[in-house]
C-alpha cells in the first residue's frame, strides 16, 4: 500500500504536470499517470508496477482518430527542473518548464505549445504506426542553450529535471505539411524534402517491473513519485537506475526530541574535489570563513556535502543544502525504517551537480570563489541516503537537531516539480 504522511491532506497543485494515459499491463484497464509518476497503480486490479527505461521516457501526442495517411512524428524535448546560476556577487535561481524542438529544421514549430496540457500523452510503443524522426539535438546541447543565456555566470546547474522525448504527429498532403492534431497546414513541404533520419519504437525499452523486494519477495512501499522503494519485511531500500532494482544503503537518524515525527531524506555525499583544498571540516571553516574554532578534531573530521533528496523550489533547496553542509549533522543512527517519511524524488547523481553551487553559497565573498568554479573538478566517491527526523508543527516541519523549519506547502509544491 502507498505510504501516508502528514502532507497527504494538502491538495497538490498539478498545473505543472502533463498526464499520460496507459492501459494496465495486467488487466487492460485505463490508468492515468502524471509525468513524474514512477509507480503505476491500477485502480481496478490493484496491480502495482514500477516504470523503468534504459534512456528517456518517450511519449507521443495521440491522433484524435484513426487515419490512412502516413503519419510522421516530430521529436521535442520536454525539460522541467531547477536552474541555478553562480554570478559575480550572487546565486540566481529559476524554474524551467518548456518543450523544445529536437531538430535544427526551421520548418516545424519550435515548441509544443499548450497541446500536452490539453491532450493526454501516451507511451511510444512498437505497435504504433508511422515514421518517428530521430532527435538531432542531444539533451546536453539543449540544456547548454539555457546556460549560454546566462553569459555572466561562472557555473550553472540544472537539477531535479524531468527530461523526456515527446513526438507530435504531422502528415504531408498536396505538397504541404499538416499538423495532424489541428489539421492545419504548417508549411509548404514535399515528400522529397523529408530527408531526416528515422528511428523505430521497437528499439525503445519501456519496462514495467513488479514491485516485489528482490531480497525477500515482500511488497515494496513507496509514493507514486518515489525513486526509492522500501521493504519493511527485510528492512531494505531499492532504486532502479536502469531496468532492475538495486540495493541502496541508508540510515535513519535517531530523533533528538519527543513527539510526533516525520522523516525527510537527504543525500550525504563524499566528493573528491580537484582545484581547491576541501577534504576536512577545518578546510570548510577556512574556505567559508565560518564562525567556528578550528580544532584538531576539525582537522581530522571527514567532510561531506549534503543535499535534499527531494525537490523543492530552488531557493529553498539551496538553503537546505548550504545549512546541512555547514552544520555537518551527526547523531546516533540505525537502519530501521521510520513509519512516516517523505519520498526520495531526487537521485544522488543530480545532487552531485549542486556541489559547486553549495560551495559558492557557503563562501560569503562570491568574487573570490566564483572565478575558480570552472576549474574545480568534482567526483562522487560515495553517496548515502539518510532520513532525518522532524517534529510536526501546524504549518511546518522542524529539524530536531538544527532547529530549521520547512513549510509543509513547500513540500507539496515540490511533488509537482
Question: Going residue by residue through the chain (417 aa), what tens digit of pLDDT does each one get?
Answer: 333 444 443 333 344 578 999 999 999 999 999 988 999 999 999 999 999 988 889 999 999 887 778 899 999 999 888 888 887 777 888 888 889 999 887 788 889 988 888 899 999 988 888 889 888 888 878 877 766 655 567 888 888 778 899 999 998 888 888 889 988 888 877 766 666 777 766 556 789 999 999 999 999 999 999 999 999 999 999 999 888 999 999 999 998 767 789 999 999 999 999 888 888 889 888 888 888 888 999 888 888 999 999 998 888 999 999 999 999 998 889 989 988 999 999 999 999 989 999 988 888 777 777 888 888 899 999 999 999 999 998 889 999 988 999 998 888 877 766
State the pTM of this model.
Answer: 0.87
283 and 162 share one domain = no
Residue 104 belongs to domain spanning: 60-204
Task: List alpha helices for 83-234, DSSP H.
Answer: 115-118, 139-149
The count of structural domains within the chain is 2
Handedness of CA 3, 13, 310, 226 (dihedral sign): positive
Residue 259 covered by a domain: yes
Do 259 and 392 fall within a single domain? yes
Q: Do 157 and 263 have their domain in common?
A: no
Instruction: Please tell me whether residues 159 and 277 are part of one structural domain.
Output: no
Q: 189 and 274 share a domain?
A: no
CA–CA gap between residue 224 and residue 241 (Å, rounded)? 16
Nearest-angstrom CA–CA distance, 337 and 236:
8
Q: Is the dihedral of CA 251, 257, 260, 264 positive or negative?
A: negative
Same domain, 285 and 401: yes
Residues 262 and 393 both lie in one domain: yes
DSSP of 294-345:
--HHHHHSB--EEEESS---HHHHHHHHHHHHHH-----EE-PPPSSBPPP-
Are residues 274 and 156 part of one domain?
A: no
Q: Say if 40 falls within a structural domain.
A: no
Strand bridging mode 155-173 / 131-133? unpaired
Could you tell me if 183 and 309 lie in one domain?
A: no
* Cβ-contact 156, 353 below 8 angstroms: no
Instruction: Indicate whether 375 and 278 sit together in one domain.
Output: yes
Amino acid at each position: 500500500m502507498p505510504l501516508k504522511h502528514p502532507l497527504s491532506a494538502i491538495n497538490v497543485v498539478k498545473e505543472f504536470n502533463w498526464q499520460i494515459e496507459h492501459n494496465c499491463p495486467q488487466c487492460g484497464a485505463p490508468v492515468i499517470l502524471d509525468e513524474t509518476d514512477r509507480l503505476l497503480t491500477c485502480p481496478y486490479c490493484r496491480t502495482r508496477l514500477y516504470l523503468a527505461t534504459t534512456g528517456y521516457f518517450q511519449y507521443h501526442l495521440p491522433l484524435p482518430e484513426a487515419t490512412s495517411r502516413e503519419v510522421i512524428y516530430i521529436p521535442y524535448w520536454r525539460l522541467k527542473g531547477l536552474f541555478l546560476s553562480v554570478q559575480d556577487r550572487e546565486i540566481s535561481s529559476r524554474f524551467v518548464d518548456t518543450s523544445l524542438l529536437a531538430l535544427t529544421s526551421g520548418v516545424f514549430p519550435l515548441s509544443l505549445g499548450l497541446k500536452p496540457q490539453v491532450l493526454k500523452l501516451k507511451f511510444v510503443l512498437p505497435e504504433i504506426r508511422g515514421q518517428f524522426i530521430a532527435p538531432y539535438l542531444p539533451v546536453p546541447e539543449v540544456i547548454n542553450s539555457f546556460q549560454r543565456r546566462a553569459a555572466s555566470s561562472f557555473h550553472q546547474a540544472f537539477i531535479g529535471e524531468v527530461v523526456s522525448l515527446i513526438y507530435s504527429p504531422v502528415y504531408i498532403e498536396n505538397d504541404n505539411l499538416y499538423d495532424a492534431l489541428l489539421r492545419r497546414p504548417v508549411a509548404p513541404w514535399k515528400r522529397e524534402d523529408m530527408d531526416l533520419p528515422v528511428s523505430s519504437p521497437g528499439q525503445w525499452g519501456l519496462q514495467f517491473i513488479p514491485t516485489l523486494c528482490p531480497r525477500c519477495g515482500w511488497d515494496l512501499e513507496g509514493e507514486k513519485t518515489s525513486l526509492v522503494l522500501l521493504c519493511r519485511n527485510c528492512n531494505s531500500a531499492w532504486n532502479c537506475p536502469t531496468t532492475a532494482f538495486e540495493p541502496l544503503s541508508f540510515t535513519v537518524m535517531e530523533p533528538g526530541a519527543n513527539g510526533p515525527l516525520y522523516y525527510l531524506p537527504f543525500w550525504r555525499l563524499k566528493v573528491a574535489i580537484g582545484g581547491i583544498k576541501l577534504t576536512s571540516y577545518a578546510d570548510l571553516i577556512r574556505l567559508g570563513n565560518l564562525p567556528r574554532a578550528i580544532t584538531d578534531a576539525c582537522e581530522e573530521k571527514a567532510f561531506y556535502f549534503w543535499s535534499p533528496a527531494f525537490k523543492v523550489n530552488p531557493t529553498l533547496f539551496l538553503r537546505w543544502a548550504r545549512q546541512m553542509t555547514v552544520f555537518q549533522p551527526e547523531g546516533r543512527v540505525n537502519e530501521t525504517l521510520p513509519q512516516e517519511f517523505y519520498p526520495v524524488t531526487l537521485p544522488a547523481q543530480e545532487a552531485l551537480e549542486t556541489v559547486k553551487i553549495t560551495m559558492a553559497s557557503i563562501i560569503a565573498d562570491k568574487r573570490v570563489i566564483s572565478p575558480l568554479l570552472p576549474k574545480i573538478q568534482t567526483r562522487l566517491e560515495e553517496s548515502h541516503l539518510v532520513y532525518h527526523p522532524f517534529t510536526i508543527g501546524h504549518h511546518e516541519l522542524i529539524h530536531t537537531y538544527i532547529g530549521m523549519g520547512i513549510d509543509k506547502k513547500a513540500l507539496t509544491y515540490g511533488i509537482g516539480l
